[in-house]
A = this chain, B = another copy of it.
Amino acid sequence: MLKEERHASILGQLRQQQKVTTLGLSRTLDVSEDTIRRDLQELAELGLLKKVHGGAISTALSPYTWKEREVYAHEEKIRLAEKAAVRLRSGQVILMDGGTTNLELARRFPQDLKATVFTNSLPVATALSEHPGVETILLGGRLLSSAQVTVGKDGLDLLAGLRADLCILGARAVHPQIGITEIDWEEAQIKRAMVQASQELMTLAITAKLGMAQPYIVAEPRKLTTLVTTPGRRDPLAAPFAALGIDIG
């Protein structure tokens, strides 16, 4: 059996039952546990699953709540937020959507920054409200508890009449050909409106989100101005974006 077949089989099983065990795969695929471990490691490096002691679990485990997502890859998110924070300039009008990475950025806005921020994210707004130099404007609408953001027509209407300097998107998936994509249609709509309403587009993406894609397109790759991520511009994961002229930070 070819390695690729095994990988496909593992991912298939993972989709069906959310988890796989090293021992179980070793038996069904008739290879040693060591080989399975190496398979899982490779797939984990591609962000296709999450390796745990005893096997692996699906990264896109659906019943994840906001709180649970917040602790996932937390250290990496903080590093990205720190890198992004130094790129902000006073006087800007900024659009920010939700996401746990954006929340870390909101917490790390430079103390002396003066800016106006429009956001549809409750946690981001809460974090920014403690900042002395930032005027925060919350987009109204129905609250999605899973993502802690508001959606709906009111927010879209407000964005339609706005010309902001910078949009900071927390994306679920960033792909060099497909662009920034989302899994929820209502969220995707608001994000699209945010992108439309601003000059520049910055995205913070942890490694696991690079090269991934979801059903609803938020922005095409060429819309992206800055991509803040962990791998450098030479890294195969980031290089395709650099080739498009996107600033890799």
Contacts and interface: CB of A to CB of B under 8 A. Distances in A.
Interface residues of A, number: 49
Copies of this chain in the oligomer: 2
Given A2-B54, A48-B68, A65-B15, A135 B142 contact: yes
B138 A143 contact: yes
A141 B65 CA distance: 26
Contacts of A138: 122, 138, 140-143, 150
A52 B137 CA distance: 38
A206 interface: no
A214 interface: no
Interface stretch (A56-64, A81-89, A92-100, A168-176): A56-64
A4 interface: yes
A140 B140 contact: yes
Contacts of A136: 142-143, 145
A80 interface: no
Q: Which 9 A-B pairs have the closest CB atoms?
A: A140-B140, A136-B143, A129-B145, A46-B71, A4-B52, A2-B54, A139-B140, A138-B150, A137-B142
Given A122-B122, A126-B148, 18 more contacts: A2-B19, A2-B21, A2-B55, A4-B52, A5-B19, A11-B65, A11-B68, A47-B71, A48-B68, A122-B126, A122-B138, A125-B143, A137-B143, A137-B152, A138-B140, A138-B142, A140-B154, A140-B155
